[in-house]
Structure 1
Amino acid sequence: MRRRSRMLLCFALLWVLGIAYYMYSGGGSALAAGAGGSGRKEDWNEIDPIKKKDLHHSNGDEKAQSVETLPPGKVRWPDFNQEAYVGGTMVRSGQDPYARNKFNQVESDKLRMDRGIPDTRHDQCQRKQWRVDLPATSVVITFHNEARSALLRTVVSVLKRSPPRLIREIILVDDYSSDPEDGALLGKIEKVRVLRNDRREGLMRSRVRGADAAQAKVLTFLDSHCECNEHWLEPLLERVAEDRTRVVSPIIDVINMDNFQYVGASADLKGGFDWNLVFKWDYMTPEQRRARQGNPVAPIKTPMIAGGLFVMDKLYFEELGKYDMMMDVWGGENLEISFRVWQCGGSLEIIPCSRVGHVFRKQHPYTFPGGSGTVFARNTRRAAEVWMDEYKNFYYAAVPSARNVPYGNIQSRLELRKKLGCKPFKWYLENVYPELRVPDHQDIAFGALQQGTNCLDTLGHFADGVVGIYECHNAGGNQEWALTKEKSVKHMDLCLTVVDRSPGSLVRLQGCRENDSRQKWEQIEGNSKLRHVGSNLCLDSRSAKTGGLSVEVCGPALSQQWKFSLNLQQ
């Protein structure tokens, strides 16, 4: 009996020692990592779908990573102390959570650094196999006074959702943040390098500094408030590996600035702009969407990229002239690099199988020397003067105040364009962005006819239909008009027509006729009103909700205030 008790005691002791060894050697690391995230908000299914797959499909990269020796002072991202890093900068009770970052920092700080997000890719992407010989990339992330929680999630999402062999390094360029430790502390994480500017340089010069320091042959630029989705990197690298002159961007999903919910974006969008040179998203034409039905995950040729997130061959980035280093802070750089890539022999693509979430804010959280409007005008003027040839006049018609903003010396950029043998802007409009309507030489005003936040709209009506107002969407179409030298207000081949010349009469659309007095209009009072020549009555929106636009006795009413987005005769 005593002997049996001793044997049982020995077995029990060996069992305890075995469990202790298992936990110590890493077998319990999943439990340890899970404990480290306790108390943090998990907004989707508690367990990341990538984790679920990894439990069953561990690959060689992950095995190699688990035994790889880290440099002294470095930690793997699951072992990074999120609580200590974020805790010191959290919003105190009673403080405005939007004050510092212009998004809800309280909600951002609640989230785990490796929170789960929904896989928003098309089903075909989820079944796709990617090349195994893809080149590694250096990820360049610039930031200035970014919320620590958002910056950390950006870094962790890159490391967590990318094959380790494809991430050579993550270069954080701290553009002179108020607290140097915002970036310095993240330098403890594996593969992260931190560069700090000794003065404020702005996005463009900071990105160039990061690119110059990069060791990989491919550059990946990301904003500092992103979250990369599953297999986001492979489809981007594959396109660049096939053709080094491609500059590729993911579909940019939306991270809500108020509650940080991750929402998938439409795959039917391309980047574009109006003549004010402000970036916008354009829906593909019905013909383009029909052409993609057979292969909905094919790359999308885009006239412009949003600018914050893209992948590019490093040597090609250098050959093409990097960024315009005379541009300041932020704005216009995406316009300039998009023109340059297309006009100088490259191409821009959006890759549907790559998804990256981005926090879209309604205003900038940081200051611009001289004001954001002045800085944006300076930057866009530089792009227009170098790349747009005579078409820059449409920009100045849309933004007359830009003529008064100095834009500096552009000689080196003009010489770059000549050296690269770049095509004229006319080629870009005809071959890359034919959807952008170019004003006719007969037009004296063009574009949207705006009244506050509403615009004159055909409402889908055709001949003899009434017109109304609708919220401005900046997509042309039903809201695109021209005032011609013959005094017609035209939408395609239809003109605004006053059939009954008495006050209160509805304005209708009819086929344009050269000498029809019912279709003659003129701008008055500093181009702020449209007066019908034959009746001396003004275009008025007061009856828009009940019947349509009418003509009324001219007066000071706001319902008679109209402004074309481009006035070509100032």
Structure 2
Amino acid sequence: EKNSRRGFDEKAYLSSKVLKAGEDPYRQHAFNQLESDKLSSDRPIRDTRHYRCTSVRYDTDLPATSLIITFHNEARSTLLRTVKSVLNRTPPSLIQEIILVDDFSSDPEDCQLLTKIPKVKCLRNTRREGLIRSRVRGAEVATADILTFLDSHCEVNSEWLQPMLQRVKEDYTRVVSPIIDVISLDNFAYLAASADLRGGFDWSLHFKWEQIPIEQKMSRTDPTQSIRTPVIAGGIFVIDKSWFNHLGKYDTQMDIWGGENFELSFRVWMCGGSLEIVPCSRVGHVFRKRHPYDFPEGNALTYIKNTKRTAEVWMDEYKQYYYEARPSAIGKSFGSVADRVELRRKLNCKSFQWYLENVYPELKIPEKELIPGIIRQGGNCLESQAQDTTGTMLAGMGHCKGTVNNPPATQEWLFSDPLIRQQDKCLSISSFTTGSQITLEACNQKDGRQKWKMKGSFLQHFVSGLCLENQTGRVVTNPCQAGVPGQQWELLQAT
């Protein structure tokens, strides 16, 4: 064993970094280092794949890959087990090299000593750069045509790489991830993850694992088939190197960690690629509850800066929902995104609306909670009236009945900017001219005749610029005039 590792002294590498007696085993790495240190670097793990995966055949001429593993002060036993699991469970012809990017760890030897292991190379940053810039640096020196990004606290499972390489070989625009099994942060037990999860998120750009939508589940007859995913978790994926470069690598102005997986995922989907999880590929990963390292700006601020850059470049008008869900991001600085906006234009990427409709229709636009109310002028209220002879429903004035909290249905309105709604009908002008009568028509967000705004005490029609006026019980639109009592309205909302 020792000879094949050409002078790598595993015992010495591991024993120089053992815990002191009585030291908290979680303090440094946010996982139980004592348990990691006790385990063999070659420990066997259970094959967690679906049994049908064992009979899937892959091309014999799959392309080799450069593995890129970035780390900052990783536990030596954990880092070594990551590297050795790759060497032990991957056909040697598929590994071009293993590039370790040491993001300015306290001890340069954590990385340097591992280069005695065949195929392992070490790049050390001269200052803390974070995951994102470190990965880009690793990708830039990689010599294989395919890149495989891996975290530094992983163990790869049997035949983990072939299914992912196969998918990328068939279509270089695919970006593929394994099912990510769980390595317990307490006792390092290797636990199978569910095979019917994919990546999702909410409007605050918080990543979550979610069930595959039921239609997709029903249409999957083959458990070895790939799962389309709106986003990837981001730690472990395979991508064609020239495609990675063509798509603009990563946004290197993002700091340390967090949010980069959304930026990459939106970019892949919107700019002509696809994201998928390959169920026959399994990689274990230690999921932690906190970050063992410091963020220069603090964890929360860094996450806000990174997700804000994502929202500003990729989410178009939908970024308002990000800000509504994450109000702490409003007004925070996020640097210049001009070059990323330019990249998006140059790549001729689709809109975020396209992404929502075609990739993630399950992400629903938040419904504003609408508060009903009445529209009053003195003792009279705006109301819907019976249909006229042509079957048109008119709006008019009538004595206010009931109370603001409990008006009759004909006098109750919902203000759903820019529409003024009563059930499924909306206040509408019949023509864009002065004196137009006001009707109620089936609501249509896109119909210019139905758009209104409150301007002081005026109810102004958005497109014509005319104001709603009560002319002795008839309501019409007229040029807005301050001195006309018939144009003064009160919107009173239920409490």
TM-score normalized by the length of structure 2: 0.75
Decide which structure has greater strand share.
2
**Which amino acid letter does the alignment assign opposite residue 486 of structure 1?**
P
Deviations 1:218-270 (A, max 9, x none): 00000000000000000000000000000000000000000000001011001
Alpha carbons of structure 1 residues 164 and 102: separation in structure 2 relative to 1, 3 Å: same
Bigger relative contact order, structure 1 or 2, given CA contacts below 8 A and separation 6+? 2
**In structure 2, C-alpha distance between the alignment counterparts of 1:252 and 1:200, rounded to whole Å:** 27
**Which amino acid letter does the alignment assign opposite residue 358 of structure 1?**
H
SS in 2 for 1:439: coil
Max radius of gyration: which structure?
2
Of 87, 99, 107, which aligns to 2:35? 107
Alpha carbons of structure 1 residues 438 and 81: separation in structure 2 relative to 1, 3 Å: same
2:8–2:113 contact (8 Å) kept in structure 1 = no
SS in 2 for 1:404: coil
Instruction: Please name the residue that 1:116 is paired with.
Output: 44
SS in 2 for 1:335: helix
Please tell me whether residue 418 in structure 1 is matched to residue 304 in structure 2.
Answer: no
How far 1:284 moved relative to its partner? 1.2
SS in 2 for 1:116: coil
Q: How does 1:360-375 map to 2 (within 5 A)?
A: 360-375=287-302
How far 1:486 moved relative to its partner? 3.4
Instruction: Please name the residue that 2:202 is paired with.
Output: 274
1:82–1:113 contact (8 Å) kept in structure 2 = no
Please tell me whether residue 333 in structure 1 is matched to residue 219 in structure 2.
Answer: no
Please tell me whether residue 291 in structure 1 is matched to residue 291 in structure 2.
Answer: no
1:77–1:156 contact (8 Å) kept in structure 2 = no
How far 1:403 moved relative to its partner? 1.2
**Which amino acid letter does the alignment assign opposite residue 214 of structure 2?**
P
Alpha carbons of structure 1 residues 515 and 248: separation in structure 2 relative to 1, 3 Å: farther
Q: How does 1:435-450 map to 2 (within 5 A)?
A: 435-440=362-367, 443=368
Q: How does 1:84-103 map to 2 (within 5 A)?
A: 84-103=12-31
Deviations 1:49-107 (A, max 9, x none): xxxxxxxxxxxxxxxxxxxxxxxxxx634974322111111111100000000000000
Instruction: Please name the residue that 2:283 is paired with.
Output: 356
Please tell me whether residue 238 in structure 1 is matched to residue 124 in structure 2.
Answer: no
Of 402, 411, 429, which aligns to 2:356? 429
2:182–2:286 contact (8 Å) kept in structure 1 = yes
Please tell me whether residue 162 in structure 1 is matched to residue 90 in structure 2.
Answer: yes
**In structure 1, C-alpha distance between the alignment counterparts of 2:168 and 2:18, rounded to whole Å:** 40
How far 1:156 moved relative to its partner? 0.4
Instruction: Please name the residue that 1:314 is paired with.
Output: 241
**In structure 1, C-alpha distance between the alignment counterparts of 2:211 and 2:321, rounded to whole Å:** 23
**In structure 1, C-alpha distance between the alignment counterparts of 2:71 and 2:188, rounded to whole Å:** 19
**In structure 1, C-alpha distance between the alignment counterparts of 2:15 and 2:250, rounded to whole Å:** 36
Alpha carbons of structure 1 residues 79 and 297: separation in structure 2 relative to 1, 3 Å: farther
Deviations 1:198-224 (A, max 9, x none): 000011100000000000000000000
Instruction: Please name the residue that 2:155 is paired with.
Output: 227
**In structure 2, C-alpha distance between the alignment counterparts of 1:372 and 1:344, rounded to whole Å:** 30
**Which amino acid letter does the alignment assign opposite residue 84 of structure 1?**
A
Deviations 1:443-472 (A, max 9, x none): 1xxxxxxxxxxxxxxxxxxxxxxxxxxxxx
Q: How does 1:420-499 map to 2 (within 5 A)?
A: 420-440=347-367, 443=368, 483-486=369-372
**Which amino acid letter does the alignment assign opposite residue 190 of structure 1?**
P
Deviations 1:509-563 (A, max 9, x none): xxxx9978xx999xxxxxxxxxxxxxxxxxxxxxxxxxxxxxxxxxxxxxxxxxx
How far 1:193 moved relative to its partner? 0.4
Instruction: Please name the residue that 1:324 is paired with.
Output: 251
1:138–1:167 contact (8 Å) kept in structure 2 = yes
Decide which structure has greater helix share.
1
Q: What number of residue pairs does the alignment pair up?
A: 381
Q: How does 1:491-530 map to 2 (within 5 A)?
A: none
1:173–1:195 contact (8 Å) kept in structure 2 = yes
SS in 1 for 2:14: helix
**In structure 2, C-alpha distance between the alignment counterparts of 1:80 and 1:297, rounded to whole Å:** 38
Alpha carbons of structure 1 residues 421 and 81: separation in structure 2 relative to 1, 3 Å: same
**Which amino acid letter does the alignment assign opposite residue 421 of structure 1?**
N
Of 296, 303, 325, which aligns to 1:398? 325
SS in 1 for 2:292: coil
How far 1:339 moved relative to its partner? 0.3
Deviations 1:296-341 (A, max 9, x none): 1100000000000000000000000000010000001000000000
**Which amino acid letter does the alignment assign opposite residue 187 of structure 1?**
T
2:6–2:116 contact (8 Å) kept in structure 1 = no
**In structure 1, C-alpha distance between the alignment counterparts of 2:354 and 2:408, rounded to whole Å:** 36
SS in 2 for 1:414: helix
Structure 1 residue runs of 4 or more that deviate by more than 6 Å after TM superposition: 513-516
Of 273, 288, 291, which aligns to 1:346? 273
SS in 1 for 2:277: strand
SS in 1 for 2:330: helix
Please tell me whether residue 194 in structure 1 is matched to residue 80 in structure 2.
Answer: no
Alpha carbons of structure 1 residues 107 and 429: separation in structure 2 relative to 1, 3 Å: same
TM-score normalized by the length of structure 1: 0.65
**In structure 1, C-alpha distance between the alignment counterparts of 2:259 and 2:109, rounded to whole Å:** 30
